[in-house]
Amino acid sequence: MTKRVAVLPGDGIGPEVTAWAVAALQAVGRRFGHDFAFAEGLIGGRAFDETGSPLPAETLALCRRSDAVLLGAVGGPKWDENLPALRPEAGLLGARAGLGLYANLRPATLHPFLSDLSPLRSAVTGGQFDMLIVRELTGGLYYGARGRDGERVFDTMVYTEAEVERVGRRAFALARSRRRKLTSVDKANVLDTSRLWRSVMHRLAGEFPDVAYEDMLVDNAAMQLVRRPGAFDVLVTENMFGDILSDEAGMITGSIGLLPSASLGAGTFGLYEPVHGSAPDIAGRNIANPAAAVLSAAMLLRHSFGLAAEAEAVEQAVAAVLAGPRRTADLARAGDMVIGTAEMGGQIVDRLKA
């Protein structure tokens, strides 16, 4: 059966890195006998320039006809003066809401052979760690009522039990498939929304007795991520806390160019994108690291298509290239050969073909 993938390259370096994610999926298809069909759509600044909207109706329809979405990046200073509803980022937020993508998965992995790139000492990291942050994606402050009344400004954080339960249930299931440990992050000593969050998570913990569960206040979680990152397996938290903590976790891996993400809804449909931005300053210069986009394709294979062995093959290909002496500038050490986007992507795809 043909698997349909909507490809939204977006802005800046998005088209460059997304091309290698597509190439990796094509290599997987040839190696494992799968048929992937790709259809391209517009999103972000480029979509605004061509259609007047950062999320054209045609793009949303394309995504809904597809089994998964592969996205590059959106944004750039060219569109900074746009009204909020017409900024490139509004296209991404609209896609998440319009496609019902409520759970954002952000893995943060430090490979032993790249441990010296982490800003943390090896005595702290143990030379490696592997955590997954699950961020609620369609509720909280970012989607609540907001406004200005003279000198008074407000943003509203709202959650329902159903919203907390669906992302919590997803996080418990993911923890069960990993090392069976889940940390729920909240601010229950201050916020009523966090007290609701904690009560729902405690109820769910009773349904997953095989998963070790703990609560952690967000300020302590921020500290523990840099004090003992290896102690975490899966963390689950609300939208704003997840936005902040996942960036912190990504930073301690040593390079944002290695960080993929998945945004999931009900069933197997998902949107997959690298964590890094559009980086317009290096767009078109054959500098960007395509590894995060390729690893996002691996997440697509695992979570939307249920192809665990194929996903692992992609991850192993990336790891093999990262362990070698030829890498993009963001990963290069003294004595390494600095290569460009095309060379890095080509190495990964060649490994997949072998």
Catalytic one of 116, 155, 192, 219: 219
Stated length of the chain: 354
Q: Describe the crossing of helices 14-32 and 341-353 by its angle, rounded to 10 degrees.
A: 10
Catalytic one of 187, 215, 330, 336: 187
Comparing C-alpha atoms, which of 253, 168, 257, 178 is closest to residue 215? 168
- 102 is known as an active-site residue: no
CB atoms within 10 A of CB 224: 16
C-alpha to C-alpha distance for 310 and 313, rounded to whole angstroms: 5
- 192 is known as an active-site residue: no
- 219 is known as an active-site residue: yes
- 187 is known as an active-site residue: yes
Which stretches within the chain are classed as H helix?
14-32, 44-51, 57-65, 88-98, 122-125, 161-176, 192-205, 218-227, 239-251, 291-303, 308-322, 341-353
Q: Which residues contact 212 (CB under 8 A, 6 or more apart)?
A: 180, 181, 182
Catalytic one of 142, 143, 215, 330: 142
Catalytic one of 3, 159, 243, 272: 243
Catalytic one of 49, 130, 215, 247: 247
Do the Cβ atoms of 304 and 270 come closer than 8 Å?
A: yes
- 272 is known as an active-site residue: no
Catalytic residue positions?
142, 187, 219, 243, 247
